[in-house]
Structure 1
Amino acid sequence: MFPSRTYIASAGCRRAIRLLLALSFIVAFMLPQFAEAAAPKVGTQAPGFYRMVLGDFEVTVLSDGTHPFPVHQVMTKAEAQPGGKVLPLDQVSPGEADALLAENGLAVPVQGSINAFLINTGPKLILIDSGAGSLYGPCCGKLIDNMRAAGYQPEQVDEIYITHLHADHVGGIAPGGKMAFPKAIVRVSEEDASYWLSDAQQAKAPSLLKTMFEGDRASLKPYIDAGKFKPFRYGETLSEGILPVAAAGHTPGHSFYRVESKGETLLVWGDVVHVAPLQFADPSVTLAYDSEPVMAAATRLAVFSDAARKGYWVGAAHIAFPGLGHVGQRDGRFIWLPANYDAAPGTVN
């Protein structure tokens, strides 16, 4: 005899129920594993560029990377008495560095930014400073990749203006000793060129600075050989809307670049500040890398006062990326007022 249709249906239902129970068990067993299978961590930042409009100019800040800045090893300060020696900050003012960092929620090691500024004036594409290239190791040398991510190519750069010939400002023009910007003319003050390309100056320089001379020569050589290195004298306009300003102290020929378009001003000030929480609160804090520390402190105080009074934009090489902002004052101290992030910086006509 054949089983009745009712029996067949009930047997089919039982099989379906058993299958559903089995599937439910499998799903219940697997769900925790699915929940734990998150996407792998990426571990990198977004491309390091930031754009703003200055009159008719487009300014693109480019990051060359960050590196742990040795606050306790290189920050210095003059003793309080007239003519006092410049000594390590921790010796002249014990605890000042850590206290000022703590006020800003920071502690050593502090990451130092290396920023450069790409100015599109319309007729020209001008790079102010170039990062460290290969001179600081794997932390840095990211400027060219970030330039490409920002929509520009190194072959498009017409001129490069260097604030001063320290490794983290000039090394990016020739990573590994090879010209990175084949069309560009490289310009720096005659005072800095004369100092850093001098064998005599290298021989008597502090040991801390001796390798800077070697890095400068390696970076500048391909441009010198190609006739593309042209030091300038102060007072000459390098390009329409861009004027170099003497700002000695950090190096003998350290320069600011005043960028102006349609009544708007950006002062690219190179190495006025290395550790913002320290040097805005106490402009007398200097650096072991300063050629003339007392002069560097005087330059810093003067430009802080000028920038706070006049309200122009500042482009800073070593303030946290993108290093764009204004100088303000609060409770008797200078303060840094970072640019408010703008996701749509406008279209240059």
Structure 2
Amino acid sequence: MRQAPGFFRMHLGHFEVTALLDGTHPFPAAKLAVGARPGEIDGLLADEFLSSPFEGMINAFLINLDGRLVLIDTGAGDLYGKEGGGLVSALIASGYSPAQIEDVYITHLHEDHAGGLLKDGKMVFPKANIHVSAADFDFWTNNANKDQVGQLLQPFFPAIQKVLKPYIDAGRLQPFSANAALAPGLTARAATGHTPGHSFFLLQDGGQSMLFWGDTVHMAAVQFPRPDIAIEYDWKVPEAVSARKEILEEAAAKGWWIAGAHISFPGIGHVSKLPHGAYQWVPANYTLNR
């Protein structure tokens, strides 16, 4: 089934932000959830007229920083088969091309965030510098770390090394340190837990803020009302849960825009706080006033 082209555009201050849909895939929430009570996942999904598996998003985001094009994550590329790889089409439909991208910032080195760096063995973004956290780069490019993850994540090591190699060989891979200033208006924030170097990117301009939070939330229907529920993809569950709770509190208190990789497209909205440690996702109102 075809939909309209997978992009959504808005402004943050005078910066242009475009959400790009790479694809969707069946997400087996009941199977992958960690820390839920028996039957709880099915109940929370049913509250939003969903069931497990539900259709999970793979979102990426383009920022026009005064003419400098910056991409946040790349989608899955070829690594998820027909369930990913739509980012380039969405990018072109939005009026841009891969050759125009000057910087790619990766929230973390999982397949559905970095896989789109490569297509048919070739660099998708031939002119771009690729920025990844030093902690994630050191972890996923060292096969000695495989014993720190379960069988679900072990195939990520060769996959990530493959998509990074052409950029490393071309001298275009640039690791960044925790909480580094990246570009005018764009700052990294360490959010360790989901991976060793999982990072947020905070964009600020004109008194507004947007947080690109990577994999803070995989299951919106579950993890907003129950932020203490984790998933099997988390490297260290307690740290991932702590990072999620802290940023939910801060985002709700400060009224930030949020851009989420796995929230129903376009994955842009706000977080509001509810009683008893729960939160609610408030999606962006659709706009034609870019």
> Which one of the candidate residues 8, 11, 23 is aligned to 1:65?
23
Q: SS at 2:173's partner residue?
A: coil
Find the counterpart in structure 2 of residue 339 from structure 1. Answer: 284
Distance 1:126 1:111 in 2: 27
Q: Which moved more, 1:171-180 or 1:288-297?
A: 171-180
Distance apart, 1:121 and its partner CA = 0.7
Q: TM-score, normalised by structure 2?
A: 0.97
CA RMSD in angstroms comes to: 1.0
Q: Deviations over 1:7-29 (max 9, x none)?
A: xxxxxxxxxxxxxxxxxxxxxxx
Q: SS at 2:249's partner residue?
A: helix
Question: Contact 2:117/2:123 (CA < 8 Å) preserved in 1?
Answer: yes
| Amino acid in structure 2 at the alignment position of 1:76 | V
Q: Deviations over 1:123-179 (max 9, x none)?
A: 410000000000001111000000000000000000000000000000001123310
Unaligned runs of 5+ in 1: 1-42, 78-88
Question: Contact 2:179/2:190 (CA < 8 Å) preserved in 1?
Answer: no
Q: SS at 2:10's partner residue?
A: strand
Q: SS at 1:130's partner residue?
A: coil
Distance apart, 1:237 and its partner CA = 1.2
Find the counterpart in structure 2 of residue 324 from structure 1. Answer: 268
1:96–1:59: structure 2 CA closer, same or farther, 3 Å change rule? same
Find the counterpart in structure 1 of residue 126 from structure 2. Answer: 182
| Amino acid in structure 1 at the alignment position of 2:228 | S
Question: Contact 2:19/2:60 (CA < 8 Å) preserved in 1?
Answer: yes
Distance 1:211 1:150 in 2: 33
Unaligned runs of 5+ in 2: none
Distance 1:168 1:175 in 2: 13
Distance 1:337 1:204 in 2: 36
Distance 1:329 1:235 in 2: 26
> Which one of the candidate residues 162, 175, 179 is aligned to 1:218?
162
Question: Contact 1:135/1:175 (CA < 8 Å) preserved in 2?
Answer: no
Distance apart, 1:330 and its partner CA = 3.0
Distance apart, 1:238 and its partner CA = 1.0
Does residue 94 (structure 1) correspond to residue 38 (structure 2)? The answer is yes
Task: Give 4+ residue runs of structure 1 displaced > 3 Å after superposition.
Answer: none
| Amino acid in structure 2 at the alignment position of 1:215 | A
More strand by share: 2
Question: Contact 2:213/2:260 (CA < 8 Å) preserved in 1?
Answer: yes
Question: Contact 2:199/2:213 (CA < 8 Å) preserved in 1?
Answer: yes
Q: SS at 1:106's partner residue?
A: coil
Find the counterpart in structure 1 of residue 232 from structure 2. Answer: 288
Distance apart, 1:204 and its partner CA = 4.8
Distance apart, 1:271 and its partner CA = 0.3
Seq. identity, % = 47
Find the counterpart in structure 1 of residue 152 from structure 2. Answer: 208
Find the counterpart in structure 2 of residue 50 from structure 1. Answer: 8
Q: TM-score, normalised by structure 1?
A: 0.81
Distance 2:166 2:232 in 1: 30
Q: SS at 2:228's partner residue?
A: coil
Distance apart, 1:203 and its partner CA = 4.8
Distance 1:138 1:129 in 2: 18
| Amino acid in structure 2 at the alignment position of 1:338 | P
Find the counterpart in structure 2 of residue 307 from structure 1. Answer: 251
Distance apart, 1:56 and its partner CA = 1.1
Distance apart, 1:335 and its partner CA = 0.4
Distance 1:133 1:299 in 2: 27
After superposition, residues 152-163 of structure 1 pair within 5 angstroms as: 152-163=96-107
Distance 2:228 2:22 in 1: 28
After superposition, residues 75-90 of structure 1 pair within 5 angstroms as: 75-77=33-35, 89=36
Structure ranking higher on relative contact order (CA contacts 8 Å, 6+ apart) = 2
Count of aligned positions: 289
Distance 1:237 1:119 in 2: 16
Distance 1:326 1:317 in 2: 14
| Amino acid in structure 2 at the alignment position of 1:339 | A
Larger radius of gyration: 1
Distance 1:216 1:341 in 2: 35
More helix by share: 1
Question: Contact 1:62/1:115 (CA < 8 Å) preserved in 2?
Answer: yes
Distance 1:183 1:309 in 2: 39
